[in-house]
Amino acid sequence: MAEFDRADVVIIGGGVVGCAIFRRLALAGLKPLLLEAGEDILSGASKGNSAILHTGFDAPPGSLEVVCMQAGYREYQAIRNRLNLPLVETGALVVAWNEEQLARLPAIVAQAHQNGVEDVTQISAEELRQREPQLAPHALGAVRVPGEHIIDPWSAPLAYALQGLAHGGRIRRGCTVSGGSFDGAWSLVTERGRITAGLVINAAGNFGDRVEAICRESPFKITPRKGQFVVFDKPAAQLVKSIILPVPTERTKGIVICRTAFGNLLVGPTAEDQETRDVAEVDEQALAMLIAKGQEMLPGLAEIGVNAVYAGLRPATQFKDYQISAQPERRWITVGGIRSTGLTAALGIAGQVGDLVAQHFHPMEESAPTWTPVPNLCEERPRPYQIGGEIVCHCEWVTRGEIEAALTGPLPAGDVGGLKRRTRAMMGRCQGFYCSAQVAAIAEGRITL
Amino acid sequence: MIERDVIILGAGPAGLSAAAELARLKVGKIAVLDREQAAGGIPRHCGHLGYGWNEFRRIMTGPAYARRLAETAGAAELKLGVTALRLEPGGVVQTTGAEGPQAWRGRAVLLALGARETPRSARLVSGARPWGVMNTGALQQFVYLHGKRPFERPVIIGSELVAFSTLLTLRHVKVRPAAMIEAGRRITAQRPGDWIARLAFGVPVLLDTRLIRILGHERVEGVEVDRGNGPERLDCDGVVFTGRFRPENALLAGSHLAVDPGTRGPAIDQLWRCSDPAYFAAGNLLRGIETAGQCWREGQAAARIIAATLLGKLAPPAASVPVQAAGALAYVYPQRLTAEDPIDPELLFFARARAATKGAIVLRGDDTVIWSRQIDALPERRIAWPVSPKDLQAHKSITVSLEPQA
Ligand SMILES: Cc1cc2nc3c(=O)[nH]c(=O)nc-3n(C[C@H](O)[C@H](O)[C@H](O)COP(=O)(O)OP(=O)(O)OC[C@H]3O[C@@H](n4cnc5c(N)ncnc54)[C@H](O)[C@@H]3O)c2cc1C
Ligand SMILES: Cc1cc2nc3c(=O)[nH]c(=O)nc-3n(C[C@H](O)[C@H](O)[C@H](O)COP(=O)(O)OP(=O)(O)OC[C@H]3O[C@@H](n4cnc5c(N)ncnc54)[C@H](O)[C@@H]3O)c2cc1C
C-alpha cells in the first residue's frame, strides 16, 4: 500500500489538467500525489465537454491560452498512438448563416493566420454545400479549419493518469482538500487526515478560487459557466463530416454541431452562468432550444432520436486568459480558470507547469517513458465486439471483458460515472433499459450503484 | 456464410411463435438469433402474472411463459448471445458474439427485435442526473433477474398498462412508490387502472401533474412536480419512467430497409414484408408496445406468409399502394398494400392517435371515403379495424385519418 500522507508534490484536482500535470511530473521522476475529491478522476469540468481538439485558430493572439493549446495539440498528436488514443480528423467549418456573419469571416481567417494556423481559408457557399450537402441551404459561406479534430475526452486524461501511475505517481480519490497550513512545507487538511506536501499545485477547476484561498487571497473568482448538450443517435453522425462551428460572439464559441469519437453527434453547448459549482442540471427549454437549433442547421436531425443529454461546467473567471503562476516562497503553483479549451491545452499546460517546477522548485529529469495504452472506445478503430465476446451493453456494443477490465487495474472505475466513461456501457440510446441491471451485477462489490 | 432457410432475429414472443409455426409447417432449416444469454425477450424479466392466456389458455408469469415459448420453438436452432450488427440486401445478416463475427444468409429473415421504453434523456426532463432513474425494463431486471431493490420509495411516471407492471414489480420487493404521476387528465391504461393503483397498492395517483425536475446529486432525492399551482417538491429516492415505447430499430437505421417515421419501425405491406422482400417483420418492432399475445399472433401470421413464400405458393410482391396516416393519427400500418391475394381474407389496419381525440376515423381511397367510424381515441391505445381488401385495391393511394369532432 502506497503511503498517502506525504509527497514532494501534491496536485489538487484530477480533471484533465490535473491528470496531464500528474503525468508530466511523474515522467520527470517527481512521484507526485494527486488528490481528487470525487470517487473517480474527471468528476468536474472534464466530465462534460465537446471533445474537440482545437488548433487555437480563434484564440486570443498572444495569450497563454493559445500557447498552451497549440503545445497541447502537438503533444497529443505526438503521443496518442503510444497511448492508443483516437483522433477523428474531421476538420471544422465556421459557418455564416447571415450577411453580418459572412462579413466577419475574413477577420476570422486573419486571426487564424496570426495564431499561426496557416491552412485556414474562407470557402464559398457552393464549396460549403459540396462538402456538407446535408447542411441547411441558407448557409452563405464558411471558414474552413482543416486541423480541428475530435478526440475521446475521457480516455485521454485516463491515459495520462495511468502513465503517471506507471512512473511512480500516486492517486487518491474521494479525498477533498479543505484547508492547509504552511511552514516551509504544506500540511493539507483532507477528510482522510493531514497530508504533508513540499509543493502544492492547484488544479481544482471550478473550485480553483476556493483552493487558492488556502494559499492566498484568490486573485480570481470562478463563476461556473454551464454548457448543456444533446447527443443524437448514431445515424446522425452520417449527416456531417466536419465540425460545424458558428461565428463566435464575445461570450462564447456558440452552438456547435459535432460528431463524437463514439459515433454519435452532439449539439451544444449553451453558456449559462451559475453559482453552484458541482451540479450541472439540464433543463427542458434549453434542450428543446438546442434540438431546434440543430434541426435548423441540419434538417436531417429531425428524423433522429436523442440518446443522451448532459451538461458541463466551465471554470470561468473574470479573466479571459488562463491563470497560471508560481508562488515560490509559498511553494505553490496556481493553475486556474482553464475555461473552455482545457481538454486541448492540458498537455501544454502541463509543459508550462513543468517549466515553473524546474525554474523554482525541482530539477525535471526526462526518463524513458513507459507507455500505458488505454482500451479503444472510438467507433472508427477496432473495438473488442468486432473480434467477439459476450456483449452486455447492446447499444454501444460493450463486452463483459471491457467492463471487467474497467473495474480492475491500477485505476479502476471509482463510481458509475467512471465506469460509463471508461466503457460507454449504459450511455447509448436505451440508457440502461437493457443492460443496467447486468452491469450493476458485474460491478457489485466494486462500485456502489 | 452460414445459410439457413429462415433466420429469425429476436427470441421474444414474436420471434419464438414464428419459429414454432415454421417448424410446424416444416419449412426447412430455421435459426433464431438473440443477443441475450436466455430466450424469451421482455417476458424473461417480467416476473408477474399476465402472460399466456391467448396462446396457451393459462395465465402465467413472464419467465414461465418465456420457457414455454422456447419449448414450443424447440425444433428451431436457437443461438443465444449472438448480436445482429448489420442487415444487408438479400437476407444477409452480420453478427457478432462469443464465436466472433459471422455472416448469415436466410432465404427469408424475420425481424422480431422488440421495443423499449423511452428513457429520461429523450424526454428532455430537467434537473440533475443522479443514479436511480430508470425504465420499467431495467427495474424488472434488477428485481426479477438479480434479486435487487434499487430504491425504497420511487415515483412512477406515466400510467400506461406497463406502469401497473411497475407497481407489481415493486410490490414483489415490498417497495411502496411515493406516487404515480400522469400528465394527462385520465389514466392511460384501461379502467379500472386508477382504483387498482389506489386501492390495491395504496399508491396516490396524481393526474394532471407534470414532472418538471429531478433533484439530487449522487442519488435521487426528490422530484418537482407541477399540479397547476407551480413547483411542488415530492420526496422520493428513484424515478421510474414507464411506457412511451419505441421500436428497437437501430439495426434498421443503418440498413437499406425503409423505415416509417411515424411508427419508427420498418414499413411493411399487409403480408409483413419489408421494402426488401427477403425481410419480414413482426411484433413490437413494428410500432412499439402491444401485448405479448398480439406479438405472438403476429409472429405466427408472418411465419405463415414466409412459409407460403418459401414453398412457392405466394407470388413475389408486385406494385403496391401506399397507405398514409393523416389528421390526429401518429401512424398507421401496414404502410403499403400489394395486389397479391392476401392469405388472411380480412385485412387489418392498426393505428394510433397522437393525443386523446374524440372524432371519426376515416379511410379514403384517393379522395373517396371508403369507410368511417366514430371513435374516442387515446394515444396509448391501439386502433384496429378490419377492411376488405376488395375495397382498397382499385385506388392509387390510401389515407387513414383521425378527424376530431368540430
Ligand atoms: C460545455 C463545455 C465544452 C467544452 N468543450 C471543450 C472542447 O471542445 N475542447 C477543449 O479542449 N475543451 C473544452 N472544454 C473545456 C474543458 O472541459 C475544461 O477546460 C477542462 O475540463 C478543465 O479541466 P480542469 O482539470 O481544469 O478542471 P476539472 O475537470 O473541473 O478538474 C478539477 C478537479 O478538481 C477536483 N477538486 C475540486 N476541488 C477539490 C478539492 N478541494 N480537493 C480535491 N479535489 C478537488 C474536482 O472534483 C475536479 O475533478 C469544454 C468545457 C465545457 C464545460
Ligand atoms: C415491463 C413490461 C411489462 C409487460 N407486461 C406484460 C404483460 O403482463 N402481459 C403481456 O401480454 N405483455 C406484457 N408486456 C409486453 C410484452 O412483453 C411485449 O409486447 C412482448 O415481449 C413483445 O414481444 P417481441 O417479440 O415483439 O419483442 P421482445 O420481447 O422485446 O423481444 C425482442 C428480442 O429481440 C432481441 N434483439 C433485439 N435486438 C437484437 C439484435 N440486434 N440482435 C439479436 N437479438 C436482438 C432482444 O434481445 C429480445 O430478446 C410487458 C412489457 C414490458 C416492457
Q: What is the pLDDT of residues B141-156, one digit of tens each?
A: 999 999 999 999 999 9
End residue of a domain, out of B282, B317, B352: B317
Q: Indicate if B256 and B174 belong to the same structural domain.
A: no
pLDDT in tens, B92-141: 999 999 999 999 999 999 999 999 999 999 999 999 999 999 999 999 99
Distance CA B296, CA B306 (A): 15
Q: Measured in angstroms, how far is the CA atom of residue A377 from the centroid of ligand 2?
A: 29
pLDDT band at B347 (very low <50, low <70, confident <90, very high): confident
In eight-state DSSP terms, residue B391 is H
Please indicate whether residue B8, judged by its CB atom, sits closer than 6 Å to ligand 2. no
pLDDT band at B345 (very low <50, low <70, confident <90, very high): low
Percent of chain A exceeding pLDDT 90 equals 96
Q: Indicate if B232 and B134 belong to the same structural domain.
A: yes
User: How high is the pLDDT of residue A360?
Assistant: 98
Q: Indicate if B73 and B11 belong to the same structural domain.
A: yes
Distance CA A372, CA A162 (A): 6
Please indicate whether residue A225, judged by its CB atom, sits closer than 6 Å to ligand 1. no
Return the domain boundaries, chain A: 2-49+154-220+319-360, 87-147+223-314, 384-443
Residue A111 has pLDDT above 60, yes or no: yes
Q: Indicate if B174 and B269 belong to the same structural domain.
A: no
Q: Indicate if B189 and B265 belong to the same structural domain.
A: no
How does B62-82 read in b/e, with b if 16+ C-beta sit within 10 Å?
bbbbbbbbbebbeebebbebb
Distance CA B76, CA A247 (A): 59
Residue A1 has pLDDT above 70, yes or no: no
More confident residue, B95 or A448: B95
8 Å CB contact of A279 and B217: yes
Q: Indicate if B133 and B197 belong to the same structural domain.
A: yes
Q: CATH number, domain at B390?
A: 2.60.40
Going B127 to A398 to A344 to A252, the CA torsion angle's sign is negative
State the first-to-last Cα distance of chain A, in angstroms, to the nearest integer: 26
pLDDT in tens, A4-33: 899 999 999 999 999 999 999 999 999 999
Distance of residue A309 Cα from the nearest chain B Cα, in angstroms: 6
User: How high is the pLDDT of residue B342?
Assistant: 56
A310 touches chain B (CB under 8 A): yes
Q: CATH number, domain at B143?
A: 3.50.50.60
pLDDT band at A118 (very low <50, low <70, confident <90, very high): very high
Burial class (CB in 10 A: 0-12, 13-18, 19+), A133: exposed
Residue B195 has pLDDT above 70, yes or no: no
Question: Is there a shared CATH topology between the A2-49+154-220+319-360 domain and the A87-147+223-314 domain?
Answer: no
User: How high is the pLDDT of residue A2?
Assistant: 52
End residue of a domain, out of B275, B299, B317: B317
Lowest-pLDDT range of A400-409, B236-245, B314-323 = B314-323
Mean pLDDT value of segment B43-51: 95
User: How high is the pLDDT of residue A251?
Assistant: 65
Q: Indicate if B312 and B279 belong to the same structural domain.
A: yes
pLDDT in tens, A50-93: 999 999 999 999 999 999 999 999 999 999 999 999 999 999 99
Cα distances (Å, whole numbers) of residue A349 to A66, A164, A303, B346: 10, 16, 41, 72
Residue B382 has pLDDT above 80, yes or no: yes
Q: Indicate if B141 and B213 belong to the same structural domain.
A: yes
Q: What is the CATH number of domain A87-147+223-314?
A: 3.30.9.10
End residue of a domain, out of B279, B302, B317: B317
Distance of residue B220 Cα from the nearest chain A Cα, in angstroms: 12
Residue A388 has pLDDT above 50, yes or no: yes
The amino acid that residue B312 corresponds to is: G
Distance CA A415, CA A435 (A): 17
Structural domains counted in chain B: 3
Q: Which CATH architecture describes the domain A2-49+154-220+319-360?
A: 3-Layer(bba) Sandwich (3.50)
User: How high is the pLDDT of residue A431?
Assistant: 96
Which residue, among A279, A284, A431, would best test binding to B if mutated, counting the most B CBs under 10 Å from its CB? A431
In eight-state DSSP terms, residue A191 is T
User: How high is the pLDDT of residue B198?
Assistant: 66
Q: Indicate if B7 and B114 belong to the same structural domain.
A: yes
Could you tell me the residue range of the domain that residue B396 belongs to? 319-406
As for the ipTM of the complex, it is 0.94
Mean pLDDT value of segment A431-443: 96
